[in-house]
Structures are given as C-alpha cells and as structure tokens.
Amino acid sequence: MSAQVLILGGSGRIGSSVAADLLTFTQAKIVIAGRNPILGKKVCDHLGERGQFLPLDLGDHDGLTQAISQADLVIHCAGPFHYRDTQVLETCIHHGVSYVDVSDHPSFTRKAMNCTAAAAAAGVTAIVNTGIFPGISNSMVRQDVEQLDEAETIHLSYAVAGSGGAGVTVMRTTFLGLQKPFSAWIDGAWKTVKPYSDRETIEFPQPYGRTGVYWFDMPETFTLSSTFPVKTVITKFGTIPDFYNHLTWSVARWWHPWLLKQPFVIEFLSQVSHFMTDVTDSFSGIGVAIRSEVIGMKDGKATQVCSTLTHPNTAIAAGYGTGSIAELILSGQLDKPGVWVVEQALPTNLFTQTLQQRGIQIEQSIQTLPHATINS
C-alpha cells in the first residue's frame, strides 16, 4: 500500500511546493491540511487522485492527533516557526510517525532538539530545518567540510530575489528576525550580534551578481557549530534588488525595539513589503542564491572550499529540499531515530543523488590560501 503523507500548511507556497515534489518523486498519498479550503482544494487539483484536502487548525488538538495517527510521515510547513511549540512533533513521536519540518528559527530548533531522546526511544526519525536555507544550505556546508582535514570557519550567505515566490510568510520571517540581538559563534566564543548589521558585499553566480548581505539569526548559527568543530560560523542574508536591504536595515537600525515586538507592526511591515514585491518581482525574479565558504586545513595547507547554488524560484527550491528528505525517509534510505538537523542526518552521497534527480547543480571550487588566512 502507498504511504500517506500529511502536510500541515500544505496549501501555502512552501507546502504546495513540497506536495508537488512528492507527487513527482514518490508514490505517496498526500493529505493537504490547512484552514483555507479554497487554496487547499486548488493544490489538490494539481495532485489528482493522490491528493486530498483536510480542513484542520493546529489548535484543534483532537483533529490534529487523529490526522497524525493516520499518517506514515508528517511534514510541518505551517510557519512562521518563531512562536511554534513542539506539539506536532511530540504527537508524531507518541504515535510512531516520522516527522519533517521546514522550520527556520533557532528558538523552535532548540525546542525540537529537546525531544531527541523521546524520538530515539520511539524509533521515530525526525528531521528539522529541511527547506532551502536552512536545509540544502546545511548539506552544502557538510559537503565542503568533508573536503578538508580540519575546518575552521564557515561563512554562509543567502540572497533572495523579491518575494522568493513564498508569499507573505517570508516577509514575516524577515521582520520577526529583527526583533532582538542574537548570539553567534565567533572565534570560539558566543558573541552578541545585531540583526541586519555588518553589511558585506558577496559575489553570487549570475544572474544575481554582487549584492549586500547582513547578519541574520538562523538555526545554522548554532547547529553547524555543534555539528562541526569550527571556531566561527557566519550566517548572512540579503535581498534583491538591493534597495530592499537598505529599507530593512533602516527598520532594524532606527525603529524602536518595542515596535518590532508588536504583532500588528510586523504584519503591517510584512503586508507592505509583500505589496512592493508584487510590483518588483516582474523584473527582480523570485529566485535564490546560496554561497557556502569553508576555510580550514588540507594536507597541511590553508584551504578554501566554496560552493554555490542558484534556483529561479525560492519556494520550489525549498520544496526540493524538504521533498528529497521525505523521499528518503519513505523509501527507507534515511532511517535515523531521534531529532536531527539536516547536516547531522543526511549523508553527502544521498544529498547529491536526490538533488541531481531534481536538476539542481552545485558548483564547488577548492583553492589553497596563504597560511595567514587561516587565522585572519
């Protein structure tokens, strides 16, 4: 019998992209769960006989429990995850159901990791942070680290064009990330960093080119430093066109912190930004660019390993990241009881295999550096 996959938030841009990936690369029956029947049924129309819509609110504990108990795999796409609890994950563990999510905020990741022992005892494989960034980006770092004898510094840079095709959710995530300073692993110690500070100009592959990126609070900040014995992890994010960066920087720099903690202010900023990108998407595109740079030692020499990836649609790329993890779990190729982030759970050979199937190419370069670079 075909496996049944429950996608929470499946009618959104990310959730529907995950569903499309599952339709192509698995034989699973797909249940789209959400609060909007119009959007949900629209997604199911594209899935054909393998799709079914389930009206469901995450606050409906009994309905959620019943839906999870009937699934073989649950994919949690109902963000933003800044204030989500681990109810869905805990219910999956209780019923012995595999779990995947597209979470992208450190607070949620930490809460999820606290369920590791329970998931391992129940024999449940749970993978968090599985989209594009975090997600594919984490596996790019792992692939780079594996080229070195010793890794010292990880520098991740992300650029999203316009709305990224992810709707208003990506706007909410951006502005929620400006609310307070966060801790970053720098030179072997945790240091406080202001969000959207320390602009750096990065050369991404065409058609994106040079654009600014800024410090941004991401789960990779602490998951990569706990997975790999490195001294520094830098996570920076920017938007295209560049004037959006300056607008976001001005909000982070000049708006009173109290304002950025008010839900109505976050929603106002998100809706205005979404309206603006509806206009600019036509010329900026909605793609994504990722650059992973790892510096360390190889054969006694300071070495830089750099990987880049681009895709013309951020939401679809996120669907690839999550869909590939789901495919591997459903096929039994990824069976690792516990709660894991992607770089801890996904071997590089499976990562490259699933991305190649989806037509994603990662460009990697390796070069020897002056020895002084390792300590600079």
Chain centroid, CA 229 distance in Å: 22
DSSP 313: B
Q: Is the peptide bond before 80 cis (omega within 30 degrees of 0)?
A: yes
Q: Does some domain include residue 22?
A: yes
pLDDT given at position 279: 85
Beta-strand relationship, 73-76 and 4-8: parallel
The span from the CA of 180 to the CA of 132, in Å, is: 24
How confident is residue 79, by pLDDT bands cut at 50, 70 and 90?
confident
- What's at 162, amino acid-wise? G
Give yes or no: residues 238 and 334 share one domain.
Answer: no
159 and 308 share a domain? yes
In a domain, 354, yes or no: no
Same domain, residue pair 259 and 142 = yes
Residues 146 and 274 in one domain: yes
User: Is the omega angle on the peptide bond into residue 37 within 30 degrees of 0, that is, cis?
Assistant: no
Looking at the fold, whether 151 and 295 belong to one and the same domain comes out as yes
> CA 330, 332, 334 angle in degrees (round to 5)?
95
306: enclosing H helix or E strand? strand 301-311
At residue 94, what is the residue type?
Answer: H
pLDDT digit string, tens, across residues 253-286: 999 989 988 989 999 999 999 888 888 888 889 9
Tell me, what CATH number does 72's domain have? Answer: 3.40.50.720
For residue 358, the model assigns a pLDDT of 97
Cα separation, 275 vs 116, whole angstroms: 40
pLDDT at 164: 84
Please report whether residue 74 resides in a domain. yes
Pairing assessment for the beta strands 182-186 and 301-311 based on DSSP bridges: unpaired
Instruction: Please give the average per-residue pLDDT across 197-216, as a whole number.
Output: 95
Are the CB atoms for 148 and 296 separated by under 8 Å? yes
Q: Residue 252: phi, psi to the nearest 5? A: -65, -35
Residue 340 Cα distances to 87, 100, 127, 154, 290, angstroms: 17, 10, 5, 20, 22
> In terms of domains, do 338 and 320 share one?
yes
Considering the domain architecture, whether residues 147 and 49 belong to the same structural domain is answered as no
Instruction: Please state, in angstroms and rounded to a whole number, the distance separating the CA atoms of residues 231 and 295.
Output: 10
How many domains, the chain? 2
Residue 374: band (very low, low, confident or very high) from pLDDT cuts 50, 70, 90? low
> Tell me: the pLDDT tens digits for 334-361?
999 999 999 999 999 999 999 999 999 9
- The domain containing residue 250 runs over which residues? 136-312+360-368
Residues 120 and 253 in one domain: no
What is the crossing angle of helices 263-284 and 243-254, to 10°? 170
Is 62 part of a structural domain of the chain? yes
Amino acid at 96: G
Q: Is the dihedral of CA 138, 141, 146, 151 positive or negative?
A: negative
Domain at 182, CATH number: 3.30.360.10
Asked if 276 and 321 sit in the same domain, the reply is no
* pLDDT tier for residue 371 given thresholds of 50, 70 and 90: low
307 located within any domain: yes
What mean pLDDT do residues 128-156 have?
A: 97
- Unique residue bearing structure tokens 């609890």: 85
Give the pLDDT band (50/70/90) at residue 1. Answer: low
Give pLDDT, residue 113.
Answer: 97
Q: Is 292 within the bounds of a domain? A: yes
Q: Are 222 and 291 contained in the same domain?
A: yes
Q: What average pLDDT score do residues 163-185 get?
A: 86
Q: Are residues 165 and 280 in the same domain?
A: yes
Instruction: Based on the fold, state whether residues 100 and 150 are members of the same structural domain.
Output: no
In a domain, residue 14? The reply is: yes
Domain presence at residue 353: no
